[in-house]
Structure 1
Amino acid sequence: MTELPSIDDVSRASAALGLGATPAELHGGLCGWLAAGGAPGNDWPARVLADDALQPVAEGSALAQLLEVTIKQLEDRDFGFELLLSDSTQTEAQVDALFTWARAFLGGFGLGSGHKRPALSEEGEEALNDLAKLAQASSEDFDSDGEDDDEALAEIEEFIRIAVLLLHGDCVMAARHRQRLN
Structure 2
Amino acid sequence: MSQLPTPQEVAAASRELGLVASPAELHGALCGWLAGGGADARDWTAKVMADESLPPPPAGSALDRLREGSVAQLEDGEFAFQLLLADEDASVRQRAQALFDWCRGFLGAFGLAAGAKPPLSEEGSEALQDLGKLAGARVQDIDEDEEDEASLSELEEFVRVATLLLHGDCVLGPRHRRSFN
Report the TM-score range of the alignment, normalised by the length of the smaller protein: over 0.9
Matched, 1:4 2:12: no
Distance 1:61 1:147 in 2: 37
SS of equivalent residue, structure 1 residue 86 = coil
Compute the displacement of 1:34 (Å). 0.2
State the TM-score, normalizing by the size of structure 2: 0.95
Query: Which position in structure 2 is the counterpart of 1:130?
Result: 130
Query: Which position in structure 2 is the counterpart of 1:149?
Result: 148
Compute the displacement of 1:128 (Å). 0.6
**Correspondence list, 1:159-178, <5 A:** 159-178=158-177
Matched, 1:93 2:94: yes
**Correspondence list, 1:12-161, <5 A:** 12-87=12-87, 89-113=90-114, 115-140=115-140, 144=143, 146-161=145-160
Distance 1:42 1:78 in 2: 25
Compute the displacement of 1:49 (Å). 0.7
Q: What percentage of aligned pairs have identical amino acids? A: 53
Compute the displacement of 1:144 (Å). 3.7
Aligned residues: 180
Specify every segment of 5 or more residues in structure 1 that has no aligned partner in the other structure, as ranges: none
SS of equivalent residue, structure 2 residue 167 = helix
Distance 2:144 2:20 in 1: 32
Cα 1:5–1:145, aligned 2, differ >3 Å: closer, same or farther? closer
State the TM-score, normalizing by the size of structure 1: 0.95
What do residues 78-128 of structure 1 show as CA deviations (whole Å, max 9, x unaligned)? Answer: 100000001152111111000010111000100111x32211111101111
SS of equivalent residue, structure 1 residue 177 = helix
One-letter amino acid of the structure 2 residue matched with residue 95 of structure 1: A
Compute the displacement of 1:143 (Å). 5.2
SS of equivalent residue, structure 1 residue 84 = coil
Distance 2:36 2:90 in 1: 32
Distance 1:146 1:6 in 2: 25
CA RMSD of aligned residues (A): 1.2
Asked if the contact 2:93/2:142 (under 8 Å) is kept, the reply is no
SS of equivalent residue, structure 2 residue 5 = coil
Distance 1:39 1:116 in 2: 17
Compute the displacement of 1:145 (Å). 5.9
Query: Which position in structure 2 is the counterpart of 1:181?
Result: 180
Structure 1: 4+ residue segments shifted above 6 A = none
